[in-house]
């Protein structure tokens, strides 16, 4: 085992809102030993932000990564087969991520920090949601395991220098 070149140094929750959605809650609390809510078909929106904090830190550059997760159970007209969550969920988390010196040899610093930082924050939101809903009337829920590789910058060479990307949006249905 070796330490990862990307380290989460600090994690904070800026917003945590989980509430029962009366229109989509089960009539009876499910038995967590026999049934678990699966997010297949539920629309989960995410927004990932990245900002430089200290690019000259002695152990490697520091970045602020933010992640917003929203499940609002709004029906989209172009999604006839959408499924709904028993809860409306709105989280915002932020973390200070350090990229070890020399890590740019294994990939683009932007891609390493964005993809891995979002994954680290997603895991924290996922765990917090499970803990909160374990005492709620519709029973515990756990967000699906996901990846953020689609946030990587395109590898084609631009004709003109582009401004650095600071925010990326992602909306997907859990599969």
Whole-angstrom distance, CA of residue 121 vs CA of residue 143:
12
pLDDT in tens, 67-106: 999 999 987 767 777 899 999 999 999 999 999 988 888 8
Spatial CA neighbour of 71 closest among 80, 79, 53, 83? 83
Gap between the Cα atoms of 92 and 68, Å rounded: 4
Domain residue spans of the chain: 6-75+82-145
Tell me the CATH number for domain 6-75+82-145. Answer: 3.10.420.10
Question: SS3 for 129?
Answer: helix
Mean pLDDT value of segment 121-132: 96
Prediction pTM value: 0.82
């Amino acid at each position: 085992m070796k330490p990862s070149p990307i380290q989460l140094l600090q994690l904070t929750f800026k917003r945590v809102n989980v509430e029962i959605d009366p229109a989509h809650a089960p009539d009876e609390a499910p038995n967590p030993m026999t049934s678990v809510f699966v997010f297949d078909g539920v629309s989960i929106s995410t927004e990932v932000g990245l900002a430089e904090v200290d690019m000259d830190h002695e152990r490697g550059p520091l970045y602020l990564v933010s992640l917003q997760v929203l499940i609002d159970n709004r029906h989209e007209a172009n999604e006839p087969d959408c499924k709904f969550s028993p809860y409306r969920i709105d989280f915002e988390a932020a973390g200070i991520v350090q990229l070890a010196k020399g890590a740019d040899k294994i990939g683009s610093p932007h891609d390493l920090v964005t993809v891995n930082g979002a994954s680290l924050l997603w895991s924290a939101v996922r765990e917090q949601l499970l803990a909160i809903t374990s005492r709620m009337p519709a029973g515990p829920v756990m967000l699906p395991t996901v990846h953020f590789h689609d946030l990587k910058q395109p590898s084609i060479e631009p004709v003109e220098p582009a401004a650095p990307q600071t925010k990326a949006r992602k909306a997907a249905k859990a599969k």
